[in-house]
Amino acid sequence: MIRLLLSGFSLKSLNSVLLVADTSNVARATEQLNCLQIAVSKAIQGVEQKICQPLFDLFPTGGSLTLVGEVLVHAPPCSHPSTPEYHHTSGAALVDRANKQQ
């Protein structure tokens, strides 16, 4: 299920979501991604629009994940039948694996 959800997004968008989730701050995430804050905000908005759900409750001093954001970022292990060994991964692990393959 998570793999199907993640398959429609760019790594940049997913990295933006994960970094904002890790730092609880868009400004800190932009520093780590070495990009403009508007780019991170637009990446998150793009993911939110595709899934029709907000991922973050953002405030001037930071933000927190919504329930949907928690599921995306901290998904429990799942199996995917397209791989013979049914890899067990979370959403964050899928992004890490995809980054290593590039």
Work out the pLDDT band at 4, boundaries 50, 70, 90: very low
pLDDT recorded at residue 84: 46
Q: What is the pLDDT of residues 29-83, one digit of tens each?
A: 899 999 999 999 999 999 999 888 999 987 777 678 999 888 888 876 555 555 5
Higher-scoring residue by pLDDT: 96, 52: 52
- d(CA 72, CA 69) in angstroms, rounded, equals 5
Model confidence, pTM? 0.66
Residue 92's pLDDT is 55
Helix (H, G, I), strand (E, B) or coil at 59: strand
Give the chain's domains with CATH numbers.
2-101 (1.10.10.10)
64 DSSP assignment: E
